[in-house]
Amino acid sequence: MVSEEQVLEALSNIQDPDLGRDIVSLGFVKNLKIDGEAVSFALELTTPACPVKEAFRSDAQRLVGAIDGVGSVDVTMTAMAPKPKTGNDIDTLKKVGAVIAVSSCKGGVGKSTVAAQLARAIQREGHKVGLLDIDLYGPSLPTLFHVQQPDVFMRHNLIQPLEIDGLKTMSLGYMIGDKPAVMRGPMVSNYTMQLLRQTEWGELDYLIIDMPPGTGDIQLTLVQQAALDGAIIVTTPQALSLVDVARGILMFESTDVPVLGMVENMAYFECDQCSTRHHIFGTGSDLLKNRFGLDILAQLPILPGISDASKKSSGADIEAFSTLAENLHREIGKRRIDAEPKPEVTSIDGHVQIKWPDGKVNAIPNKTLRTSCQCALCINEYTSEAILDPGSVPEDIKVEGIQPLGNYAVAISWSDGHSSGIFSWEHMRGITATA
Ligand code: ADP
């Protein structure tokens, strides 16, 4: 008779490529039953949209099927229930699996295009998706979806989303047109909150929120109230402002919203004669990776018509959109299981100590780390020349606070009043390697 140990041993050969561990130690195998020659179990993945789902299923079938004495293998694929949305008292979002904000530091970088096309790409994977456009400074859903001020209905005091080719949408633009809203702060915030709280989404796998650009009070209120599962920051090589990117990261992470990665829009132009990719504005992705340790989830081409999201099939021929959706699922999955060991960063005796997951410990003197700061106040972001004079940093500078930023960096506030620095793991590894 086949034993549980044999089955688990066979399954432990399946590695999760994103989490870097085998599926048995990750606790994915559930309900293992052995009845004579029949083996059945469930594989519970971090997200129903797990990109490697089918590979897991067939590997599990094959490996367990190859055990001596196994006659049949029944694998059920399930996914972890979304975590209860703590702090989210918004009833209309209670049945939404994941709420993702698409944000940008500046207007006009293609944030709405990314939000709409991401929603379509996830919808094409077979998920129920909603898209909420609360960019009051220029709501663009009406343009992207070719709908101009449609009738918006209320039912039991709740706003009914407009379904466009299977995608549930709501936009302030449906009510005020696609002109930027000229309103005072409190009015803007009332409208935004009303759309967020009172749109009846029903059951959704994903709600994508097209946020107003920037990091002001309205954005912060939204982030806090919506209990977001994650945020994506959209930028373009030509509008790449590192100060603003850092502000965006700090706004989300300070409210416990993980920044899942960045999207570089208008990253290149592909010549239709020679198919060469021309990065006409240069590329900011290496810089972003180095400075903040964040992954680029997708690089989008400059393409006329890329913003048309009016049909389910819109954007289906643009590979970067499906890559974006896949990478988003991966990042959400990683955060759900939280399996990636993180370095521990602490302040000890004039040093910042980093205990790496492999057990190695490094200590960087406070002054060395402070003067290596890569933020835009310390380094000119266009010329990369140093702005900070190391002599101006006190020898006995102290750490006043360390804030972990997801699994990529920490933000440190210093006794000289400086707090805009983000120190990525890569950056600190670099310092310790050369020390
Ligand atoms: P945002 O929401 O950041 O203001 P939008 O998505 O509304 O940006 O895009 C601004 C303008 O740029 C729109 O006219 C849009 O069609 C265009 N655009 C966005 N991304 C691209 C791209 N990759 N290629 C060509 N045009 C684009």
pLDDT at 40: 94
Give distance in angstroms: CA of 320 to centre of ligand 1. 15
pLDDT at 372: 92
pLDDT at 138 over 80: no
Selection from 148-157, 242-251, 337-346, 348-357 with the highest mean pLDDT: 348-357
Give distance in angstroms: CA of 146 to centre of ligand 1. 15
- The answer to whether 309 and 315 are in contact (CB under 8 A) is yes
Which residue's alpha carbon is at the smallest distance from atom 9 of ligand 1?
A: 110
d(CA 73, CA 372): 56
| Band of pLDDT at residue 230, cut at 50, 70 and 90 | very high
As given in the structure block, the two tokens for residue 432 are 């310790």
Give distance in angstroms: CA of 261 to centre of ligand 1. 19
Give distance in angstroms: CA of 110 to centre of ligand 1. 4
Q: CATH number of the domain at 344-434, please?
A: 3.30.2020.30
User: pLDDT exceeding 70 applies to what percent of the chain?
Assistant: 91
- The answer to whether 67 and 3 are in contact (CB under 8 A) is no
Range in 166-175, 187-196, 390-399 with the lowest mean pLDDT: 187-196
Mean pLDDT of 73-86: 73
Mean pLDDT of 11-29: 88
| Higher per-residue confidence, 238 vs 67 | 67
- Residue 403 in 3-state DSSP? strand
**Within 10 A of 47 (CB to CB), how many other CB atoms are there?**
24
Which atom of ligand 1 lies at the shortest distance from residue 113's CA?
A: 6
Beta bridge partners of 35: 38
pLDDT at 363 over 90: yes
**Within 10 A of 281 (CB to CB), how many other CB atoms are there?**
17
Mean pLDDT of 336-341: 66
| Band of pLDDT at residue 183, cut at 50, 70 and 90 | low
Which atom of ligand 1 lies at the shortest distance from residue 302's CA?
A: 24
Mean pLDDT of 342-356: 92
Which residue's alpha carbon is at the smallest distance from atom 16 of ligand 1?
A: 307
d(CA 277, CA 297): 18
Which atom of ligand 1 lies at the shortest distance from residue 265's CA?
A: 23
Q: Domain map of the chain by residue range?
A: 4-79, 91-337, 344-434
Rounded alpha-carbon distances, angstroms, from residue 277 to 282, 285, 304, 321, 330: 11, 15, 15, 17, 26
Torsions phi, psi of 296, nearest 5? -90, 120
Give distance in angstroms: CA of 234 to centre of ligand 1. 11
User: pLDDT exceeding 90 applies to what percent of the chain?
Assistant: 44
d(CA 240, CA 75): 47
| Band of pLDDT at residue 427, cut at 50, 70 and 90 | confident
Rounded alpha-carbon distances, angstroms, from residue 385 to 374, 381, 393, 422: 10, 8, 17, 18
Residue among 170, 98, 184 nearest 133 (CA): 170
| Band of pLDDT at residue 86, cut at 50, 70 and 90 | low
- The pLDDT mean for the chain works out to 86
Tell me, which fold does domain 91-337 have in CATH?
Rossmann fold (3.40.50)
User: What is the residue whose two structure tokens read 């266009």?
Assistant: 382
Q: Are strands 230-235 and 96-104 parallel, antiparallel or unpaired?
A: parallel
pLDDT at 177: 65
Residue among 276, 269, 267, 275 nearest 299 (CA): 267
Please give the distance of CA 297 from its chain centroid, rounded to a whole number: 8
Which atom of ligand 1 lies at the shortest distance from residue 140's CA?
A: 7
User: What is the residue whose two structure tokens read 């500046």?
Assistant: 106
| Band of pLDDT at residue 225, cut at 50, 70 and 90 | confident
Give distance in angstroms: CA of 213 to centre of ligand 1. 13
Domain 4-79 has CATH 3.30.300.130: yes
Give distance in angstroms: CA of 389 to centre of ligand 1. 40
User: pTM of the full predicted structure?
Assistant: 0.77
Which atom of ligand 1 lies at the shortest distance from residue 300's CA?
A: 23
d(CA 284, CA 296): 10
Range in 92-101, 103-112, 134-143, 184-193 with the lowest mean pLDDT: 184-193
pLDDT at 84: 52
d(CA 207, CA 6): 41
| Band of pLDDT at residue 186, cut at 50, 70 and 90 | low
pLDDT at 339: 54
pLDDT at 179: 60
Q: Are strands 167-171 and 38-45 parallel, antiparallel or unpaired?
A: unpaired
pLDDT at 180: 58
The amino acid that residue 184 corresponds to is R
Which residue's alpha carbon is at the smallest distance from atom 24 of ligand 1?
A: 302
| Band of pLDDT at residue 83, cut at 50, 70 and 90 | low
Give distance in angstroms: CA of 307 to centre of ligand 1. 6
Instruction: Provide residues with CB under 6 Å of ligand 1.
Output: 104, 107-113, 135, 138, 140, 265-266, 300, 302-303, 306-307
Mean pLDDT of 293-311: 91
